[in-house]
Amino acid sequence: MSRCGVVAAVAVLAAGIAGCGVDEAPAGSVVVPLTYLAPGAAGGALGEPRLAARVTVAGAVLHVLVDTGSTGLKVLASKVTGAVRKTGVRGTTSYLSGLRIDGDEARASVRLGAASADDVTVLLVDRLSCTPDQPRCEAAGGATPEEFGAVFDGIMGIGMALRSDGETGCCANPMSALTDNGSFVVHFDPVVPELWLNPPEDTIARFRTASLRVTGANGVQTYDPAPMRACVTVSDVIRDFCAPVVFDTGTPDLVLLAPKGALAPPRKLLDRDLLPTGGKRVTFAVADIWTWSFTGAPLGEGDLDDAMAVLGNLTSPPVVEIMPEADPLVLVGLPGFTSADVLYDLGGARIGLAER
C-alpha cells in the first residue's frame, strides 16, 4: 500500500456494512479471474500471500499485484515494449514498506480480462530505491523487490481514488477506464478470486454503502472521505484501539498503525512488530455494526518461527502487526476479504461491504 494511498484509501464506510454477500458473479458483470498466491509461491520467492492478475499493457502481458490500498497501474518500463505515449511527467510513489518507485507517466492501451481501454494512464517504472526513513527496504543495495521484478512486473492499484492523492505525477485509477462507470467488486475466494466489473444495481443493493466527498486540487481529483472507524481489542493487551480503517488486498494480516509504544511496549512484540496473540481473543468491530472476532494463532512470547509460519496463512487466524506511524490507522488485509465482498464505486463516489 502506498503512503499516499493510505490517505486516499481511508475511504471506508460511515454507514455500516451489514448485508448479504454474493456467492457467484452476478449476471451482466464482466468477470476478471484473479490468482491467489500463497507464501512460498513463485519458486519460494514470495514471502507473503498476494492477489495477482494478468494485465496487457501496449501488447505486453504482465503479471501484476492487485492492491486496493493504492491507486494507479505502475509497471516496469523494461517489460513494456509496445507503443506508448509519454506525457513528459515524472511520477514518484512510496509504499509503507519503504520502497520508492520513479518513472515516466505514459498513456497506453490496457486489457484486463475481457475489459479493455485505450489511452490509460500508466507509470513506467525505471528506478527503485528506499525512502530515507527505511533505508533497508527490499530495494536496498540494488536488490530486486518482489513487486517489481522478483515475482511481479508491477502493481495495479485500484483503491478508492480517481488519482493518487499527494503523489507526483501518475496515476489515474485504471478501473475508471476499464469499467462503464468505475464500479467493481472484489470477491476474494482463495480458490477462485475474482473482480466483478459493472455489477448491476440489484447486486449493489446488497451492499451497505457510504458516500464519499470528491475534491480537486491542482487539477487532481480525489476523494476526501469522512473515514469510518474500526475498534480493535486484543484480550489482556489492547483495549478499544479505534482508528480509521482501510481494506487492503496488499496487506497479508491485520495491521495497527499507531505512535510507537502507544499500543504495546516494544519488549512485548516479536520481530517485525508482531503482537503475540496466541490464545487471546481478537475483536474487530466496525461502527458497532459488523464484528469480526477470532482467537489468535498459538504463538508463544518470542516465538518468531511460529509467527512467520502463520503470517499470511488464510487457514489460520490473521496475525496482528503493529507499525509505528504518527496517524493511527487500521489496515484489514486479505483475511478480512474472506469475510466480506467489497464494492468500489468510483463513478458514484461510494464504497460498500456485504458480509459473506
- Of all residues in the chain, what percent carry a pLDDT higher than 90? 38
Q: Determine phi and psi for 166, rounding to 5 degrees.
A: 85, -10
Q: What is the pLDDT of residues 203-228, one digit of tens each?
A: 988 888 877 776 665 555 566 544 56
Q: Are strands 350-355 and 290-295 parallel, antiparallel or unpaired?
A: unpaired
Domain residue spans of the chain: 27-200
| Yes or no: domain 27-200 corresponds to CATH 3.40.50.720 | no
Report the C-alpha gap between 91 and 125 in whole angstroms.
9
Range in 165-179, 281-295, 307-321 the model is least confident about:
307-321
254 C-beta neighbours (distance < 10 Å), count: 25
- Answer yes or no: is pLDDT of 237 > 80: yes
Cell of 92: 514518484
Q: Determine phi and psi for 57, rounding to 5 degrees.
A: -120, 115
Q: What is the pLDDT of residues 150-197, one digit of tens each?
A: 999 999 999 876 555 445 557 889 999 999 988 999 999 888 999 999
Q: CA 153: distance to chain centroid?
A: 17
- CA torsion sign for 45, 337, 228, 265 is negative
Q: How would you write 180-201 as a 3-class SS string?
A: CCCEEEEECCCCCCEEEECCCH
Phi-psi region of 44 (alpha: psi -120 to 50; beta: other; left: phi over 0): left
> Model pTM?
0.85
Question: What pLDDT score was predicted for residue 148?
Answer: 98
Looking at residue 149, the DSSP 8-state letter turns out to be: I
For residue 128, the surrounding DSSP H or E stretch is strand 115-130
Q: Are strands 208-211 and 214-217 parallel, antiparallel or unpaired?
A: unpaired
Query: Do 222 and 214 contact (CB within 8 A), yes or no?
Result: yes
Cell of 320: 496482528
